C-alpha cells in the first residue's frame, strides 16, 4: 500500500492524447519520459492538454489489468514545450487553427524555439514563411490569442470546480472580459450561456465567497427555477410550487425565497396573477406574450375577411375538377367556414383529409388573386408542406427574417410580412414566443389559417398554443375525424388512431405487404442486436430503403441502453465505416458520412433546431467540418460542434414536424417515466412507408393506456375566454 511519502514525480513530453474529458479534465496521455524505453501512460486531471506539451506530475504507479502499467497522477501540470520536436508536435496538434503538421514543420524550421515569441510579438514575420500569406498569418495570430484566453478561462473554471466544455462558448459570449464578468456575477452565466446551468454558476459563486443565504443568490435561484419550467412547457408556476422548488434547489428558508420573488416582481422581471384561481408567478416576457397573443387572435376572429364572398356551390366543383378529387361534405363545409373567417383552425389526425382540405382551400383563395404565404416550424415540415401544396413554403424563422446582428426578427409590427393569407402548418409545435413573433408580423388586413394535429406532443418550448386556442372554443375550428377509404388501408394510420383512442395497435400483422410491425424484444443486448440487424440488413433489403437517409430510430429518451445516445454510438459503428477516422469533440465522434442533427437555432448559419444533415468533409488543419443540410453546404468550426449530435437515432420530441420513409420505435420499461399515449401516437405518425415498434408489450400497453398528458401552466386559454 502506497503512503503519501511514497509519492513519485514524473516529467516528460506528451506524444499522444489517448483520451481527454473536457467536462472534468480527466485524461489518459502517452508521455516520453527520460530513462523509460517505452512511452509511459499517465492518467490524471488537467483543464486542457495538447500533444507536444511538457508535463510535470506527481502520483503513484498502478498496474491496470486491462491496460498494463500506468502512472496515476494526483497533480498534473502542462507547460509549453521547449524542445524543437515538442514545439513542432504542439503546433501541429490542431490546437491552433491554420497550423497543421505541414506548416508546424515550416514554422519551426524558420524560427526554431523562438516561434512562440514570433507569433505573439512579431506576427508580420509569419508571412515570410513559404505558403503562409497575410490572411493565414492573421488567422494564426488571432487563434493563438484566442487559445491563450480560452486556456485562462479553462484554468479559472477548473479551479472553481466547474467543467471546461463550455469555456470556448464563454469566451465567444464575453470575449476578453470573460473572467471579469464571471467574477462579478457568476449567475450571469446561467442566463447567458446554454450548457452552463445554475448549479455550475452557483459553484463558482460559492468559491468566490457569495453567501448561501444572500438575496442575490435567492433571486438568481428563483429565476432559474422559472426558466427551467419553460423547458417543461410552463409559462409560469403556482407560487407555492415555485417556493417549494426554489427551497429544494437553494436549501434556504422559504421566507428568503418569498422576499426574492417580491424583489423580482418589483423589478418587473416576474409577474403575479391567478391561473385557475391559483396565485401564479410568471416570467414577465411569457406573461406579455400570452396576453398579446390572445388580444391579436380575438381581433382577428372578430374582423371581416378582406375578399369578396364566394359562391361555394360554384367554386367547389371547379376545384374538385382541377385537383381531380371528390371532397366529402365535411370538407366542403370546412371550406365555406374558412372563406367566412379571418382566423381559422383545421385539426385532425393522419388520413382525415387535412392536406386535401388545405389544398382545396388554397386553390379557392388563389382564384381571388390573394398573396398567400405558407410556413412551418421546421425545415422538414416546410419541405413537406411545399411538396403537398405545390407552393413555396418556408420555416417560420426564415419567413420572419432572422436578424443575427441584433437578435430577433426583421419582420415585426413596424415591418410586417407581405401577404393576404398566411398558413401555419404543424401549429402544435409552435411555442408561445415564436407564435407571438409571427402574429406581430402579420399585416392588419391578412387572414390566418392554423393547421395541426392537436393530439400530438405539444411544443418543445413553453406553452400549448394550438390546444389552448381549440379548447377556448372562441376561435372557428374544424376538427376532422373521418378516416378516408384509401388511408384506412394503411396499418400505420389505423394503428395511430387506435393508439389515440387508447387501444393497443394490432400486433399480429404478418402479411408481406404490411407497413406496420411489432417486434418483441427484451431490454439490453436483445433489443440492440435486433435494431442493428433491422437497420443494417432486413429493412434495406426488404423495402429497398437507405439505412442512413431513409430509416430513423425514434426513442422516448436520450439516456439508457435503448436511448438515442447509446443507439447512435452502436449504429455509427455499423453504418459508417469512416467512424474510426473521425474527430472526437464534446464527447462524440464525428466522421465523414455521419448523419447529424442541429440541436439549437443558429441564425448566422440559417440552421435550426431539429435540422438533419450529413457530414461531407472534415478539414483538420483549419479545424472545420462541412455539413450538407437539404442540399446546402454549411461550414462549422470545431468550437461549434456542441450544437450538433449524431442523428441515426433521435428522440420522439425532436422528430416533431418531420416524416421519414421508415421509423423504428424502441419501447422498453426502462423508459416508463416518459411513456405517454401522445408520445407513441406522435412517433407512429412520423412514418410514411414503414413503422416498426420493437420492445416489450408491457411497456407499449402502459404508454397506450396512459391518459395523462403533461399539464402545462399556460394562461392563453384564460385570456381568450375572458
Numbered residues of the known binding site for ATP: 351-355
What the block records as the C-alpha cell of 280 is: 401564479
Q: Are 10 and 71 in contact (CB under 8 A)?
A: yes
**What pairing do the DSSP bridges indicate for beta strands 612-619 and 624-629?**
antiparallel
Binding-site residue set: 351-355
What gap in Å lies between CA 206 and CA 186, rounded to an integer? 9
What gap in Å lies between CA 368 and CA 360, rounded to an integer? 13
Q: Number of C-alpha atoms within 13 angstroms, CB side, residue 2?
A: 10
**Grid-cell match 400486433, residue found:** 507
For residue 151, count other CB atoms closer than 10 A to its CB: 17
What gap in Å lies between CA 88 and CA 82, rounded to an integer? 10
Q: Are 466 and 452 in contact (CB under 8 A)?
A: yes
Residues 6+ apart with CB under 8 A from 212: 206, 250, 251, 252
| DSSP label of 538 | I
Helices (H), 340-390: 354-366, 379-389
Query: Backbone dihedral region of 35: left (phi > 0), alpha (psi from -120 to 50 degrees) or beta?
Result: left
**What pairing do the DSSP bridges indicate for beta strands 68-79 and 40-45?**
parallel
Residues 6+ apart with CB under 8 A from 81: 13, 52, 53, 54, 87, 89, 90
Q: How far is CA 464 from CA 192, 229, 432, 457, 686, in A?
A: 25, 14, 7, 10, 20
What the block records as the C-alpha cell of 115 is: 516561434
Helices (H), 475-559: 485-488, 491-500, 525-533, 539-543
Which residue in 330, 319, 307 sits closest to 421, CA to CA? Answer: 307
Judged by DSSP in three states, 438 sits in: helix
What the block records as the C-alpha cell of 433 is: 414566443
Q: Are 646 and 595 in contact (CB under 8 A)?
A: yes
| DSSP label of 409 | B
**Could you please report the per-residue DSSP string of 525-575?**
HHHHHHHHHIIIIIHHHHH---TTTTEEEEES-SSSTTSHHHHHHHHHHHH
When computed from its CA atoms, the radius of gyration of the chain, rounded to whole angstroms, is 29
For residue 116, count other CB atoms closer than 10 A to its CB: 16
Amino acid at each position: 500500500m502506497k503512503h503519501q511519502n511514497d509519492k513519485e514525480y514524473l516529467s516528460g513530453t506528451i506524444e499522444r492524447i489517448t483520451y481527454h474529458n473536457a467536462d472534468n479534465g480527466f485524461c489518459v496521455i502517452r508521455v516520453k519520459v527520460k530513462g523509460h524505453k517505452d512511452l509511459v501512460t499517465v492518467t490524471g486531471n488537467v483543464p486542457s492538454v495538447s500533444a507536444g506539451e511538457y508535463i510535470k506530475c506527481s502520483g503513484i504507479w498502478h498496474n491496470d489489468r486491462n491496460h498494463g502499467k500506468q502512472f496515476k497522477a494526483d497533480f498534473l501540470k502542462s507547460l509549453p514545450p521547449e524542445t524543437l520536436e515538442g514545439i513542432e508536435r504542439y503546433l501541429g496538434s490542431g490546437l491552433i487553427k491554420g497550423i497543421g503538421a505541414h506548416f508546424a514543420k515550416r514554422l519551426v524550421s524558420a524560427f526554431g524555439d523562438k516561434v512562440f515569441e514570433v507569433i505573439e510579438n512579431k506576427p508580420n514575420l509569419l508571412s515570410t514563411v513559404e505558403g503562409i500569406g497575410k490572411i493565414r498569418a492573421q488567422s494564426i495570430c488571432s487563434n493563438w490569442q484566442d487559445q491563450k484566453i480560452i486556456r485562462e478561462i479553462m484554468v479559472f473554471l477548473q479551479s472553481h470546480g466547474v467543467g471546461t466544455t463550455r469555456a470556448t462558448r464563454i469566451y465567444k459570449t464575453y470575449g476578453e472580459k470573460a473572467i471579469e464578468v464571471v467574477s462579478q456575477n457568476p449567475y450571469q452565466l446561467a442566463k447567458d450561456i446554454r450548457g452552463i446551468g445554475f448549479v455550475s454558476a452557483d459553484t463558482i459563486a460559492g468559491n468566490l465567497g457569495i453567501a448561501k443565504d444572500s438575496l442575490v443568490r435567492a433571486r438568481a435561484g428563483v429565476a432559474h427555477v422559472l426558466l427551467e419550467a419553460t423547458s417543461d412547457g410552463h409559462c409560469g408556476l403556482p407560487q407555492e410550487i415555485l417556493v417549494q422548488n426554489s427551497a429544494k434547489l437553494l436549501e434556504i428558508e422559504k421566507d428568503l425565497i418569498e422576499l426574492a420573488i417580491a424583489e423580482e416582481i418589483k423589478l418587473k422581471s416576474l409577474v403575479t396573477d391567478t391561473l385557475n384561481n391559483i396565485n401564479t408567478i410568471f416570467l414577465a416576457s411569457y406573461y406579455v406574450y400570452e396576453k398579446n397573443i390572445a388580444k391579436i387572435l380575438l381581433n382577428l376572429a372578430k374582423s371581416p375577411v378582406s375578399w369578396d364572398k364566394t359562391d361555394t356551390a360554384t367554386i367547389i366543383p371547379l376545384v374538385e375538377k382541377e385537383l381531380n378529387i371528390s371532397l366529402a361534405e365535411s370538407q366542403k363545409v370546412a371550406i365555406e367556414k374558412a372563406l367566412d373567417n379571418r382566423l381559422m383552425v383545421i385539426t385532425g389526425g393522419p388520413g382525415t383529409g387535412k392536406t386535401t382540405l388545405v389544398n382545396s382551400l388554397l386553390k379557392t383563395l388563389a382564384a381571388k388573386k390573394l398573396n398567400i404565404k405558407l410556413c412551418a416550424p421546421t425545415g422538414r415540415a416546410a419541405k413537406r408542406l411545399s411538396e403537398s401544396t405545390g407552393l413555396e413554403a418556408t420555416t417560420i424563422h426564415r419567413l420572419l427574417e432572422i436578424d443575427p446582428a441584433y437578435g430577433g426578427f426583421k419582420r415585426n409590427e413596424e415591418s410586417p410580412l407581405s401577404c393576404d393569407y398566411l398558413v401555419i402548418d404543424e401549429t402544435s409545435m409552435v411555442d408561445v414566443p415564436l407564435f407571438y413573433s409571427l402574429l406581430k408580423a402579420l399585416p392588419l388586413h391578412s387572414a390566418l389559417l392554423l393547421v395541426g394535429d392537436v393530439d400530438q406532443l405539444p411544443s418543445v418550448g413553453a406553452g400549448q398554443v394550438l390546444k389552448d386556442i381549440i379548447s377556448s372554443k372562441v376561435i372557428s375550428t374544424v376538427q376532422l375525424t373521418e378516416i378516408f377509404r384509401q388511408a384506412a388501408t394503411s396499418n400505420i394510420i389505423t394503428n395511430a388512431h387506435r393508439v389515440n383512442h387508447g387501444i393497443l395497435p394490432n400486433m399480429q400483422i404478418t402479411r408481406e405487404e404490411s407497413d406496420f410491425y411489432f417486434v418483441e424484444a427484451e431490454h439490453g443486448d436483445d433489443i440492440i442486436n435486433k435494431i442493428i440487424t433491422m437497420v443494417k440488413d432486413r429493412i434495406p433489403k426488404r423495402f429497398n430503403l437507405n439505412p442512413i437517409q431513409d430509416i430513423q430510430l425514434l426513442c422516448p429518451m436520450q439516456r439508457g441502453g435503448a436511448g438515442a445516445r447509446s443507439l447512435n454510438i452502436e449504429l455509427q459503428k455499423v453504418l459508417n465505416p469512416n467512424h474510426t477516422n473521425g474527430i472526437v469533440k464534446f464527447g462524440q465522434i464525428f466522421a465523414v458520412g455521419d448523419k447529424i442533427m442541429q440541436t439549437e437555432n443558429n441564425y448566422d448559419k440559417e440552421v435550426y433546431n431539429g435540422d438533419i444533415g450529413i457530414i461531407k468533409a472534415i478539414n483538420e488543419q483549419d479545424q472545420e467540418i462541412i455539413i450538407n443540410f437539404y442540399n446546402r453546404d454549411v461550414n462549422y468550426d470545431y468550437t461549434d460542434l456542441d450544437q450538433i449530435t449524431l442523428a441515426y437515432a433521435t428522440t420522439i420530441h425532436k422528430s416533431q414536424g418531420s416524416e421519414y420513409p421508415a421509423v423504428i420505435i424502441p419501447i422498453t420499461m426502462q423508459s416508463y417515466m416518459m411513456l405517454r399515449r401522445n408520445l407513441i401516437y406522435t412517433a407512429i405518425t412520423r412514418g410514411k412507408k414503414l413503422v416498426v415498434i420493437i420492445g416489450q408489450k408491457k411497456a407499449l400497453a402502459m404508454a397506450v393506456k396512459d391518459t395523462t398528458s403533461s399539464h402545462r401552466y399556460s394562461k392563453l386559454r384564460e385570456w381568450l375566454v375572458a
